[in-house]
């Protein structure tokens, strides 16, 4: 199957579920649909206002989650998927992409951990800030949908 077909299959399941929040990130059918897309290069999320790149996004290695970082890993360590992201971290037990979003001053900030019945252990809302001042408050569902739509149409970048 082509990448676009895998993306369509995952988008269909996402629509059936009505989102990918809370326990939905563990949905086995959605995970199965996403599996062929995990080992693809991270994609650039761009600002809709100024077109600058804001972050890099890729799929979580096991869950129906979009993970992200401000920077990519060095070319030597990039092997697609989450290895494409800058994994620099403190040794506090958090997954590196979450750890980075908890540090003050970054362009990616966790804006809300829970709410809406979110008990997944992952953030409910994450805010991406562009250098131009634009802010993107996102939930996993909207990130995943935008990511899959870019894959579906063969675009190399993501816009919200």
Cβ 66 to Zn ion shortest distance, Å: 19
Residue with Cβ nearer Zn ion (122 or 128) = 128
Examine residue 48 and tell whether it contacts Zn ion (CB under 5 A).
no
Residues near 93 by Cβ (< 8 Å), separated by ≥ 6?
A: none
Give φ, ψ of 98 to 5 degrees: -80, -45
Do 20 and 30 form a contact (C-beta atoms < 8 A)?
Answer: yes
Name which of residues 49 to 88 contact Zn ion (CB under 5 A): 49-50, 52
Identify which range of 13-21, 66-74, 86-94, 134-142 contacts Zn ion by CB under 5 A: 134-142
Residue with tokens 């070319």: 75
Examine residue 158 and tell whether it contacts Zn ion (CB under 5 A).
no
DSSP tag of 64: S
Do 50 and 130 form a contact (C-beta atoms < 8 A)?
Answer: yes
Residue with Cβ nearer Zn ion (49 or 62) = 49
Q: Which two tokens stand for residue 37?
A: 């897309």
Residue among 134, 142, 149, 152 that touches Zn ion (CB under 5 A): 134
**Chain contacts with Zn ion (rule: CB under 5 A):** 47, 49-50, 52, 130, 132, 134
């Amino acid at each position: 199957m082509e990448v676009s077909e895998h993306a369509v299959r995952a988008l269909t399941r996402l629509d059936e579920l009505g989102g990918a929040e809370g326990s939905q990130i563990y949905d086995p059918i959605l995970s199965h649909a996403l599996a062929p897309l995990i080992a693809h290069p991270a994609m650039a999320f761009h600002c809709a206002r100024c077109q600058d790149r804001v972050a890099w996004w890729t799929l979580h290695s096991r869950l129906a989650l979009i993970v992200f970082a401000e920077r990519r890993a060095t070319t030597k360590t990039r092997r697609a998927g989450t290895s494409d992201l800058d994994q620099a971290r403190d040794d506090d037990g958090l997954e590196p992409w979450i750890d980075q979003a908890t540090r003050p001053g970054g362009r990616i900030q966790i804006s809300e951990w829970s709410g809406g019945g979110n008990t997944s252990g992952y953030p409910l809302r994450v805010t991406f800030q562009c250098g131009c001042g634009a802010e993107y408050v996102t939930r996993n569902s909207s990130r995943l949908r935008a990511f899959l739509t870019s894959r579906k149409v063969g675009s190399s970048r993501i816009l919200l």
